[in-house]
Amino acid sequence: MADKLAIEKVSHVFAGDNRRAPLRVLDDVSFSARAGEFVSIIGASGSGKTTLLRVIAGLQAPTSGGVSIDGEAAAGPHRKLGVVFQRDSLWPWRTVSGNAAYGLEMRGVAKRDAAARAMKYIEMVGLGGFADYYPHQLSGGMRQRVNLARALTIEPDILLMDEPFAALDAQTREVMQLELTKIWRETGKTIVFVTHQIDEAVYLSDRVITLSARPGAVRAETAIDLPRPRDLRVKRTEAFQNYVGLLWDMIETEVMKGFRVPAGVD
């Protein structure tokens, strides 16, 4: 099967100034995602995960390398991409429906048509009874559901997600993980998901990309061979915990590199 998304030898250096030297955050990163695949990106803090996602989204130009979608070079924001950030960034003066329809309106779709399509995805994320509510009337988990509905409403082929559940409590986070797997199955999107949570990456993904300590490079690609559909009980299985342990061992090594701990120091 042809790649839906390909990241090809992407490097990025933040320019220095009179006080700071240039900072290389990504180093020759290459990987791909097939149509309908769920790929997570993990790595130590500062390994360039968010920068990489911004490069894929076309919000940050790489210093070298590039991104292609369906075999064609992509530079800048692309109509086939939707992005969900860690913060919900909802407009406080717009209702749930108004926020979800915003992206379509910006593309010139008539408000009535945009609202009708948005309602489909509002219902898909479980907020069918809240279309006329405002963000301040919603919980954090509900606000992220609106954020997801807004990204889905533009009907992208590829959904990029940057730690979208990081600010949620543990119980809500697990519910959102389960809901996301259901939405992914229903829509068939290709998803690239950045997270610090190793168990989250294992639970959600077909494949996990582990980045090295800064500058971030692909240290490993790990296929997650767990049956689908997955409910939350899979997290208690030995096979699941084995994957978590494998990835934690890699992350721990990269974290120690980041701290530059000398050999022999506890």
Domain boundaries, the chain: 3-80+157-259, 88-155
pLDDT score at 260 = 59
Q: What is the pLDDT of residues 104-123, one digit of tens each?
A: 998 889 999 999 999 999 99
What DSSP assignment string belongs to 15-40? ---SSS--EEEEEEEEEEEETT-EEE
**Joined tokens for residue 102:** 């915003």
Residue type, 132: D
Give 170-208 pLDDT, tens digit per residue. 898 999 999 999 999 999 999 999 999 999 999 999 999
Phi then psi dihedrals of residue 67, to 5 deg: -125, 140
User: For residue 83, what are the β-bridge partners?
Assistant: 160
**pLDDT for 233-261, tens place per residue?**
999 999 999 999 999 999 887 777 766 54
d(Cα 167, Cα 84) in Å, to the nearest integer?
13
CA distances to 36, 184, 195, 198, 224 from 242, rounded to whole Å, are 25, 25, 19, 12, 11
What's the predicted TM-score (pTM) here? 0.91
Predicted local confidence at residue 264, as pLDDT = 37
103 within 8 A of 152, measured Cβ to Cβ: no
CATH 3.30.830.10 fits 3-80+157-259, yes or no: no
**Half-sphere exposure (Cβ direction) of 177: Cα atoms closer than 13 Å:** 27
- Span 2-6, mean pLDDT? 90
- Say if residue 233 is exposed, middle or buried (CB neighbours under 10 Å; 0-12, 13-18, 19+): exposed
Q: What average pLDDT does range 148-155 have in this prediction?
A: 94
- 141 within 8 A of 172, measured Cβ to Cβ: yes
